[in-house]
A and B are shown apart, each in its own frame.
Chain A
């Protein structure tokens, strides 16, 4: 039983990291209907900046997170400006291929020797790992940190989307760009900021991931990126609580499979759940089914 509860917590830890990535995917998708494949690589850049922050640049780790957020936000907005904005009203598949291209570019460019280099790096944690035992269940301070940070980010994002002018603009855009423009929404600026916020969240996820699973390399973003996007679809793409829920399910599915069945089958189970959910409810768990208009 204790083993089971510990696995639940491990799943929560992984799920929260996925959630931080999935939020960026879902926000961007909600507004521009683009699967931003480069998002997983922004996550990777975040992890590296955080790592350089608290090892090479001797920053306290909270500062390293903030620096990673700022740099990744700038990166996300730059990508949007250079690669996606010119294709915004082109066929959607073109923007998707551009996103794949940008993703490859970031991966290979960061693998160059004067950037991050092609090798795996082992992350020295910026603080000692401490374990607490609560009723026989072991929890580490890293897990608490990830949980608290993710929840704070989620609440902050909910506030931003539902209580601020920017959030209102984002929600308007998710319905119709032209109408939003008529209502006085600055479309370019709002989309740009959405990419920035999503990238900053991915950066937080990246630094936390580097602390929790202390090994980083330039292609590390692919799988978590895919899974986070899958999580967003699972929960209902375009919905913030959906991304969170989907990410938690993905995290649990993966950790539970690894713990009780076979660690090699973890991806298989996670994606089987996805296909099952899509078949039963194509718009995701929380998604609303819209009647098809002719």
Chain B
């Protein structure tokens, strides 16, 4: 594959992205997507950004986390505080996003220092505990910083994150996650997911790469949270407790462990599923929504136990295949 065709691919993807953006814009302007579904769409992209973070932590690097929503919450509250005090101009908004990402990454780093030594289920339980602790923290935050609202929720964050911003960061996150996964660092993370001892033996500093993936993934969660804070006027601690963490986990596993494509598609599908069920069922059967949602989850897992996309990647996210010109074992998957 030559340099030229690389640029061609890139141009193709860029054109595709612009086309999707234009199409959605057109649908919105023509009234085909009403504000309600616009909101669902925005929400689905925000969830996808957060889920990409967990996908890097768990799917790619194998670090089990059931506390992802805590970092989502840290990003949301931090960013919310920044714009609440600085106002909603574009510069302040961007500063808030940076602050949200930075705060989530910093907390992830400090929490990861002692905790990432744990493995498998023990790490999961520790992150779950961290999630509960953060929830209690958000509940009582108003005692330290009154603007955070505590258990009654935080209001008054300027709602400046429109579809354009969210779409931009959605695409950026995908590019970032994909480049991380396909870098040498990403490969090291995959190696330690497969076998920590073997990875260590071939010279990978396990702890360093665990930390790298964890901080990166939590940073994405922070970005998602920061966007969320500027899209939904009401932040409540229950948006960031155990159940949203489980949602992220479901998305990553259901999409297929180790597949970023799966994560993105499932995240969007999962958010839409709930809303479509709401639209389809009507008021009389609204009670059944949770039941059907749960059934779909269980049946999907039973039918496709490798997740919807297995560990395969498609399109832009697929790693390029390099073909050597000669030699008996010419094909090396990149």
B297 touches A100 (CB 8 A): yes
Assembly CA distance A222 to B84 (angstroms) = 34
Check A278 for interface membership: any CB of B closer than 8 A.
yes
| Bitwise interface map of B from 207 to 248 toward A, beta carbon under 8 Å scored 1, else 0 | 000000000000000000000000000000000001000100
A271 touches B121 (CB 8 A): no
Check A94 for interface membership: any CB of B closer than 8 A.
yes
Given A94-B301, A265-B136, A294-B197, verify A105-B294 contact (CB < 8 Å).
yes
Q: In angstroms, how far is the closest chain A Cβ from the Cβ of B289?
A: 8
| Bitwise interface map of B from 130 to 154 toward A, beta carbon under 8 Å scored 1, else 0 | 1011011101100000000000000
Q: In angstroms, how far is the closest chain B Cβ from the Cβ of A90?
A: 4
B297 touches A101 (CB 8 A): yes
Query: Which residues of the partner chain B approach A97 to less than 8 Å between Cβ atoms?
Result: 249-250, 253-254, 297, 301
Q: In angstroms, how far is the closest chain A Cβ from the Cβ of B147?
A: 19
Q: In angstroms, how far is the closest chain B Cβ from the Cβ of A277?
A: 10
- Which residue of chain B is the closest to A108 with respect to CB atoms? B290
Given A87-B305, A104-B290, verify A35-B121 contact (CB < 8 Å).
yes
Query: Which residues of the partner chain A approach B297 to less than 8 Å between Cβ atoms?
Result: 97, 100-101, 104
Query: Which residues of the partner chain B approach A113 to less than 8 Å between Cβ atoms?
Result: 287
Query: Which residues of the partner chain B approach A147 to less than 8 Å between Cβ atoms?
Result: none
Check B298 for interface membership: any CB of A closer than 8 A.
yes
Assembly CA distance A86 to B299 (angstroms) = 11
Given A97-B254, A104-B290, A282-B118, verify A226-B301 contact (CB < 8 Å).
no
* Interface of chain B residues 1 through 59 with chain A (CB within 8 A): none
B290 touches A102 (CB 8 A): no
Given A91-B257, A93-B257, A271-B129, verify A100-B246 contact (CB < 8 Å).
yes
Assembly CA distance A230 to B242 (angstroms) = 14
Check B283 for interface membership: any CB of A closer than 8 A.
no
| Bitwise interface map of A from 94 to 112 toward B, beta carbon under 8 Å scored 1, else 0 | 1011101110110111011
Interface size class of B (residues with CB under 8 A): 35 or more
Q: In angstroms, how far is the closest chain A Cβ from the Cβ of B298?
A: 4
Query: Which residues of the partner chain A approach B246 to less than 8 Å between Cβ atoms?
Result: 100
A279 touches B114 (CB 8 A): yes
Dominant secondary structure of chain B at its interface with chain A: helix
B133 touches A271 (CB 8 A): yes
Given A108-B290, A274-B126, verify A98-B298 contact (CB < 8 Å).
yes
Given A93-B253, A98-B302, verify A272-B133 contact (CB < 8 Å).
yes
Check A155 for interface membership: any CB of B closer than 8 A.
no
Given A91-B305, A264-B140, verify A101-B294 contact (CB < 8 Å).
yes
Partner of A275, one of B119, B126, B250, B287: B126
A94 touches B305 (CB 8 A): yes
B125 touches A83 (CB 8 A): no
Most buried by B among A86, A101, A109: A101
Check A118 for interface membership: any CB of B closer than 8 A.
yes
Check A292 for interface membership: any CB of B closer than 8 A.
yes
Assembly CA distance A265 to B121 (angstroms) = 25
Check A212 for interface membership: any CB of B closer than 8 A.
no
Query: Which residues of the partner chain A approach B125 to less than 8 Å between Cβ atoms?
Result: 229-230, 233, 274, 278
Assembly CA distance A86 to B300 (angstroms) = 13
| Bitwise interface map of B from 108 to 119 toward A, beta carbon under 8 Å scored 1, else 0 | 000000110111
B126 touches A102 (CB 8 A): no
Check A148 for interface membership: any CB of B closer than 8 A.
no
Q: In angstroms, how far is the closest chain B Cβ from the Cβ of A16?
A: 22
Check B202 for interface membership: any CB of A closer than 8 A.
no
Check B288 for interface membership: any CB of A closer than 8 A.
yes
Query: Which residues of the partner chain B approach A93 to less than 8 Å between Cβ atoms?
Result: 64, 253, 257
- Which residue of chain B is the closest to A29 with respect to CB atoms? B121
Assembly CA distance A91 to B135 (angstroms) = 30
B257 touches A108 (CB 8 A): no
Query: Which residues of the partner chain B approach A104 to less than 8 Å between Cβ atoms?
Result: 290, 293-294, 297
B294 touches A102 (CB 8 A): yes
Partner of A265, one of B140, B253, B257: B140
The 5 closest A-B pairs by CB, nearest first: A108-B290, A105-B294, A271-B129, A104-B294, A101-B297
Q: Could you write out 8 A-B pairs with CB less than 8 Å apart?
A: A83-B298, A93-B64, A94-B301, A101-B295, A108-B294, A230-B128, A264-B140, A278-B115
- Beyond A98-B298, A278-B122, A282-B119: 5 further Cβ-contacts under 8 Å? A104-B293, A104-B294, A105-B295, A112-B291, A279-B115
Chain B residues engaging chain A, CB cutoff 8 angstroms: 64, 114-115, 117-119, 121-122, 124-126, 128-130, 132-133, 135-137, 139-140, 197, 242, 246, 249-250, 253-254, 257, 287-291, 293-295, 297-298, 301-302, 305
